[in-house]
Amino acid sequence: MNVDELDQILLGGAVVLLVAVVAVRLSGRLGLPSLLIYLGMGLLLGESGPGHIHFEDAQIAHALGFAALVIILTEGGLTTRWNEVRPVMPLGLVLATVGVAISVSVVACIAHYVLGLDWQIAVLIGAVTSPTDAAAVFSVLRRVPIRPRLRGALEAESGLNDAPTVLLVTLVSTGATSEHGWLYFTGLVAYELVVGALFGFAIGWVAVKLIRRVALGSAGLYPLAVVSVAIISYAGGTVLLHVSGFAAVYVTSLVLGRAELPHRMATRSFVDGLAWLAQIGLFVMLGLLASPGRIGLNDVMIALVIGIAVTVVGRLLAVVVSATPFKVPWQEQAFISWAGLRGAVPIVLATIPLAEQVPQATRIFDIVFVLVLLFTLLQGPSLPWLARKLGVLDENAAFEVEIDVAPLESLGADMLQVHVPSESRMAGVEVGELRLPAGVSVSLIIRSDESFVPERRTVLRAGDSLLIVTPSAVRDATARRLRAVSRAGRLAGWFGERGRENH
């Protein structure tokens, strides 16, 4: 590649990226998941579209797909609230293991006995289509204000179910399951998940201690440090311990997201941008890898049957078996079942048998591609309507405040930047009525184009930005109090971030 070719690639890539960024607004207005637009862009750029770009390297697609999933899981873990995930982590883990096993079994049996597919192909299709996609779940559910425990369960499941399915697809593609048996596979999945999660927790715990103690020379270095830690967790778990790097990176990101690290909001914004870049690149690449010209009517019909099997039959049975022991109401079970979105993960997993040159691997890829397109188009836009019908919306979602932290090491204190959203019940509350811990000071209020030092009787308004200086020892208590007031107003008790005991 010479400089002229590089310039052409940079120009084309920048144009595609800019169009993809603008398309996010369009997809939001239409209520469609953005992944559909990105896949469509890949199809237009591919060999069957006007772009005529020829791309058939399944091994590169497999490797780049895994790299993109690492960034997506990192963003998901950082932005997932630990207080929402912790109570439902057992449910998420059961959905990611027992639920996936049930779904794979149901889909494989339907594919074999109803469609007449070979057992290896049937199991591969079941394993590829059963896991939910982290990118789709994180992006869609953040726009649907459902109850925190529901969101936490779905996000935990999507963050953890990659590990067993990647292992299953790899073993079936290489023929290792017939050699070692299912007992070996079950033990291997347990080892990879448990040790991977423990390794991820250890890496995250050590990283939090180091980042809090070391004052980096620039605010822009903190996001780079966090991303580096996440990648070390994934690669270290995979290379050194041969465990699930996906489980490790997700748990590490949960630990990092739970900690009040310096410049937390800047870090989240940076990683959010990286995740969008990873999603755009991933879906466009998968669109390039697909060839609509070779997809026949028979493949579309098989995709419909498999889609119904995995979305309606397998998923519903998996959720009922997994969630009933946790006494989850049927309305929430119904929503969890329908909200198990497929996206990039099934298509990325379908590149594994392609890379291993499994017989009929191309057909598996085409079927999965069609399935993802059709059922994402069906499920994604229907989730807000279904959440309202089932009564699982979170009434307090509009009252949340975002709190950023900047360290003041020499003073042993931190500066919090708090923005009061339009629906927050903090609006109308006097500064003195915040009842913040002793030693905490509301130092500055920025309102529209002016800034001023508040008094105790200063009334807060929607849209205000507050700069609050707090001793490091009471920083967490200050953040909890601010969130409680934002949700429940001046009379909020000390009920934690939710602001109410029954939430």
Total domains, the chain: 3
State whether 86 and 20 are in the same domain. no
β-sheet bridge partners, residue 195? none
> Is residue 356 domain-resident?
yes
State whether 277 and 347 are in the same domain. yes
State whether 432 and 351 are in the same domain. no
* Domain extent at residue 459: 397-488
Q: What is the dihedral of CA 5, 11, 13, 15, to 10 degrees?
A: -160
Take residue 346 and report the two structure tokens written for it: 């099934």
State whether 302 and 219 are in the same domain. yes
State whether 153 and 268 are in the same domain. yes
pLDDT for the residue numbered 26 = 72
Examine the fold and report which residue of 334, 364, 390 is the final residue of a domain before the chain moves on: 390
State whether 306 and 426 are in the same domain. no
Does 286 have pLDDT greater than 50? yes
**Predicted confidence (pLDDT) per residue in 441-472, tens digit:** 999 999 988 899 999 999 999 999 999 999 98
> Is residue 101 domain-resident?
yes
> Is residue 92 domain-resident?
yes
**Predicted confidence (pLDDT) per residue in 354-363, tens digit:** 888 888 899 8
> Is residue 495 domain-resident?
no
**Strand order across the 441-447 sheet:** 402-408, 413-419, 465-471, 441-447, 450-452
> Is residue 501 domain-resident?
no
Q: How far apart are CA 485 and CA 483, in angstroms?
A: 6
Angstrom CA distances, 399 to 209, 332, 359, stand at 31, 23, 54
pLDDT for the residue numbered 502 = 40
> Measuring CA to CA, which residue among 495, 492, 484, 500 is closest to residue 400?
484
State whether 46 and 79 are in the same domain. yes
State whether 432 and 368 are in the same domain. no
For the domain that residue 465 is a member of, what is the CATH number? 3.30.70.1450
State whether 267 and 182 are in the same domain. yes
State whether 196 and 211 are in the same domain. yes
**Predicted confidence (pLDDT) per residue in 423-448, tens digit:** 888 999 999 989 899 899 999 999 98
Residue pair 111/117 in contact by the 8 Å Cβ criterion: yes
Examine the fold and report which residue of 390, 410, 434 is the final residue of a domain before the chain moves on: 390
> Is residue 307 domain-resident?
yes
> Is residue 338 domain-resident?
yes
State whether 331 and 191 are in the same domain. yes
Is the pTM here over 0.85, yes or no? no
State whether 3 and 35 are in the same domain. no
